[in-house]
Amino acid sequence: MGAKPAIAPDEYWNPRHETMPRAEITAIQVAKMRRQLAYAWERSPFHRRRWEAAGFEPGQFRSLDDLRRIPPMTRAEWMEAQAAHPPYGDLPAAPPEVAIRLHTTSGTTGRMPLRALDGMRDWEWIAEMWCHGFHAFGVRPSDTVFFAFSYASFIGFWGAHYACEKLGALVIPSGSLPTDTRVKLIVENGATTVCATPTYVLRLAQVAREMGVDLRKAGKVERILLSGEPSGSVPAVRRKIEEEWGAPCGDSAGMTEIGTIMMFECRHRPGGMHIIEDHFIEEVLDPESGEPVGPGEKGERVVTSFGRGILPLVRYRTRDLVCRVPASSCTCGRTFDLYQGGILGRVDDMHKIRGTNVYPRAVEAIVREHALVEEFQIVLWREKDRDEITVRCELPKGSEDHWPSIRTALDHDLAEAHENLRFQLELAEPGTLPRFELKAKRLVDKRTY
Ligand SMILES: [Zn+2]
């Protein structure tokens, strides 16, 4: 925030589309939707079957008001289709021969992994979407971009890697290298941009400190690009990252289901992310009733994505909680609306503890106010019939003296933010809490039902 930064001559990746009047954005969305509906009706048995059952056919779609005629799709339906027609289900609108790569979600929790096939054109589009975000936060051909990412079956930053090549930047991949080697590479190669999840960016800083490397002085990092976790938009997490690195961080958000990002933070940093509206239709619905909510109100993101030829998504219920605000809330001149505060959590992330709603992201926002807390964990457990919640915090070796005051502050702030629900607080031994590179899992639910 602060003083209004000027609009740079090369502010936008796609100057015409990113500054289009609303009527033109709508016209593009309607045109793309009509084409997508006809394509999916013809080629995706999954879509056709569900639309026919709901009495919908593509000719009924004439304006955005007709979106509500199309039945929303869920991940559960997609997974059922995969199980019924293994391995890819009947959603794909093109045969596997067209694909050049398979990515999957981890499926570690016993859930079936989501299997996503992409062709050459899909990858071109995936990179193009990431370019919006990297360019908007200042990445240019003269930059050196370091990816702290294990290139494997999770799609994660694969598209971001190609985007940086497309932008003309120098890319340094780091595969499965250990964290200290990554720190060395960042410093030795003078990386100007580091790209990772918020959790892992903090982990890099922690290891750098242990190695005696002051990232603010030793390296040339000018910006951090985040994605993969909602905490990239939590102010206290961002402050901690920016203090450790001495560089601003910009957030972006995507999902395996669409293969790329659908929103990004620009360098004006309005406290939210712009939706790439010429490539996606984003709706915000009440998760219970399925009715649209107004601007500035929280609801569930429902996405239609136009760029993936093999996997055309139409009104996909993401379970992400968001709050949409108009483009005018940012000073950059883009006409793309924003999600204020990024992804605010997941519809399913809410835990009820003795009648009070607890969202892990809200707990994280409070815990991260204390810069000394290096890692933390939320444990839900049950004592007789009473639900309990414990937050375990880890401080660096030798800082135990600070725990009583941090504990007092957390005790007060957590209760105040949760209708006086009392949280138990515990100091964990240094180095005992799990560390994460991707998708941190800091909540452990030990209750048995
Ligand atoms: Zn902006």
What CATH number corresponds to the domain at position 405?
3.30.300.30
Distance 277 CA to ligand 1 centre (A): 13
Distance 289 CA to ligand 1 centre (A): 32
CA distances from 304 to 119, 126, 211, 346 (A): 19, 15, 46, 18
Distance 334 CA to ligand 1 centre (A): 6
Last residue of a domain, one of 347, 368, 402: 347
Last residue of a domain, one of 347, 365, 390: 347
- Are 250 and 297 within one domain? yes
Rg (CA), the chain: 22
- Are 141 and 271 within one domain? yes
b or e along 370-393 (b: 16 or more beta carbons within 10 Å of the residue's beta carbon)? Answer: beebbbbbbbbeeeeeebbbebbb
Distance 99 CA to ligand 1 centre (A): 35
What is the token pair recorded at 358?
A: 């607890």
H or E element in which residue 358 lies: strand 356-358
User: Contact, 430 vs 396, CB < 8 A?
Assistant: yes
How would you classify the pairing of strands 386-394 and 424-428?
A: parallel
Distance 414 CA to ligand 1 centre (A): 32
- Strands laid side by side in the 424-428 sheet: 424-428, 386-394, 375-383, 443-445
pLDDT digits (tens, 9 = 90+) for 221-270: 999 999 999 889 999 999 999 999 999 999 999 999 999 999 999 999 99
Distance 195 CA to ligand 1 centre (A): 20
Distance 214 CA to ligand 1 centre (A): 31
- Are 84 and 156 within one domain? yes
Last residue of a domain, one of 314, 347, 380: 347
Residue 367, amino acid: V
SS3 156: coil
- Are 219 and 301 within one domain? yes
What is the token pair recorded at 335?
A: 């006409």
Residue 338's domain comprises: 1-347
Q: What is the dihedral of CA 395, 400, 405, 411, to 10 degrees?
A: 60
Residue 280 is classified by DSSP as E
Distance 14 CA to ligand 1 centre (A): 13
Distance 121 CA to ligand 1 centre (A): 28
- Are 158 and 254 within one domain? yes
Q: How far apart are CA 357 and CA 419, in angstroms?
A: 9
pLDDT at 437: 76
- Are 358 and 336 within one domain? no
pLDDT digits (tens, 9 = 90+) for 318-330: 999 999 999 999 9
Q: How far apart are CA 348 and CA 361, in angstroms?
A: 12
Cβ neighbors of 254 (< 8 A, separation 6 or more) are 129, 159, 227, 260, 261, 262
What is the token pair recorded at 291?
A: 């009715």
SS3 234: coil
How would you classify the pairing of strands 280-285 and 272-275?
A: unpaired
Distance 339 CA to ligand 1 centre (A): 11
Distance 7 CA to ligand 1 centre (A): 10
pLDDT at 109: 58
Domain CATH code at residue 76: 3.40.50.12780
Residues less than 5 Å from ion ligand 1, measured at CB: 266, 268, 330, 332, 334
Distance 329 CA to ligand 1 centre (A): 8
CA distances from 174 to 150, 157, 181, 213 (A): 7, 12, 9, 19
Residue 176 is classified by DSSP as T
Distance 156 CA to ligand 1 centre (A): 24
- Max CA pair span of the chain: 69
Distance 449 CA to ligand 1 centre (A): 46
Distance 228 CA to ligand 1 centre (A): 20
- Phi and psi torsions of 5, nearest 5°: -75, 145
- Are 329 and 358 within one domain? no
- Are 343 and 382 within one domain? no
Nearest to 417 by CA among 368, 354, 358: 358
Distance of alpha carbon 417 from the chain centroid: 24
- Are 202 and 136 within one domain? yes
pLDDT at 41: 98
Count of domains forming the chain:
2
pLDDT at 42: 98
Residue 190, amino acid: G
- CA 94, 99, 104: angle at the middle one, nearest 5? 105
Distance 203 CA to ligand 1 centre (A): 29
What is the token pair recorded at 347?
A: 């519809």
Distance 136 CA to ligand 1 centre (A): 8
- Are 267 and 405 within one domain? no
- Are 361 and 339 within one domain? no
Distance 332 CA to ligand 1 centre (A): 4
Distance 137 CA to ligand 1 centre (A): 10
User: Contact, 249 vs 229, CB < 8 A?
Assistant: no
Binning the chain into helix, strand and coil, the percentages to the nearest 5 are 35, 25, 40
Distance 226 CA to ligand 1 centre (A): 16
Distance 197 CA to ligand 1 centre (A): 21
b or e along 209-240 (b: 16 or more beta carbons within 10 Å of the residue's beta carbon)? Answer: eeeebebeeebebbbbbbbbbbbbbbebbbeb
Cβ neighbors of 382 (< 8 A, separation 6 or more) are 388, 446, 447, 448
Distance 299 CA to ligand 1 centre (A): 22
- Are 316 and 389 within one domain? no
Q: Give the N- to C-terminal CA distance of the chain in Å, as an integer.
A: 46
User: pLDDT below 70 — which residues of the chain?
Assistant: 1-5, 107-110, 449
Distance of alpha carbon 442 from the chain centroid: 16
Distance 130 CA to ligand 1 centre (A): 15
What's the pTM? Answer: 0.87
Distance 268 CA to ligand 1 centre (A): 6
